[in-house]
């Protein structure tokens, strides 16, 4: 199947998924599974969320699919992950061996994308995807991953707007 139609198909299924699940954490778990299974070049897919109240701020590994990573906690001044969370910008690295910020998870990783998740204008976490293929994250893929981050952000925003207590409905549960 051409990449464009696979992306469209997965995007539609993610939209349906977001409507079907009960909360943001369920969405994150099902989303990483779907992306890992269906997108052939997405070899590691995971969310890092900012630890509430941590000083200094810390990204903590949440739902993920793929090899176990040694990087379960990442300060904002480290890694591609730290760069995306601290700048609030999507970071795409076509060749991780040429980026001094890169923290290695798997020796096979060649390229990476990290997209921040915003709730009410603030970064609360990010979606990180590694590929065994160089330059895997073209514009179409950036759009898809940003759409994923937006779906999770909307679920988190709904929970926080409803003033749901931590640990009952949103991703902290």
Where on the chain is the footprint of ligand SME (CB under 6 A)?
44, 46, 69, 71, 74, 79-81, 102-103, 105, 112, 128, 130
Q: Which is nearer to ligand SME, 42 or 44 (CB)?
A: 44
To ligand SME, the closest distance from the beta carbon of 103 in angstroms equals 4
Residue nearest to ligand SME (CB): 79
To ligand SME, the closest distance from the beta carbon of 12 in angstroms equals 27
Q: Which is nearer to ligand SME, 7 or 91 (CB)?
A: 91
| Nearest in space to 108 (alpha carbons), one of 82, 136, 81, 85 | 136
* CB-CB contact of 42 with 131 (8 Å): yes
Residue 16, burial from CB neighbour count under 10 angstroms (0-12, 13-18, 19+): exposed
Max CA pair span of the chain: 47
Q: Which is nearer to ligand SME, 62 or 112 (CB)?
A: 112
User: What is the CB-side half-sphere exposure of residue 86 using CA atoms within 13 A?
Assistant: 13
């Amino acid at each position: 199947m051409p990449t464009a139609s696979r992306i469209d198909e997965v995007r539609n299924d993610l939209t349906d998924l977001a409507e079907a699940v009960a909360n943001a954490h369920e969405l994150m778990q099902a989303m990483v599974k779907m992306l890992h299974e269906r997108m052939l070049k997405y070899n590691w897919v995971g969310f890092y969320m900012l630890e509430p109240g941590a000083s200094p701020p810390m990204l903590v590994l949440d739902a993920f699919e793929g090899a176990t990573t040694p990087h379960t906690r990442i300060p904002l001044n480290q890694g591609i992950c730290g760069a995306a969370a601290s700048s609030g910008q999507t970071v795409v690295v076509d060749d991780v061996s040429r980026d001094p910020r890169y923290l290695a998870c798997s020796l096979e990783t060649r390229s990476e994308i990290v997209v921040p998740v915003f709730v009410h204008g603030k970064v609360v976490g990010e979606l990180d995807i590694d590929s065994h293929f160089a330059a895997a994250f073209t514009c179409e893929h950036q759009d898809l991953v940003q759409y994923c981050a937006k779906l999770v952000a909307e679920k988190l925003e709904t929970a926080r707007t409803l003033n749901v207590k931590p640990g009952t409905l949103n991703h902290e549960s």
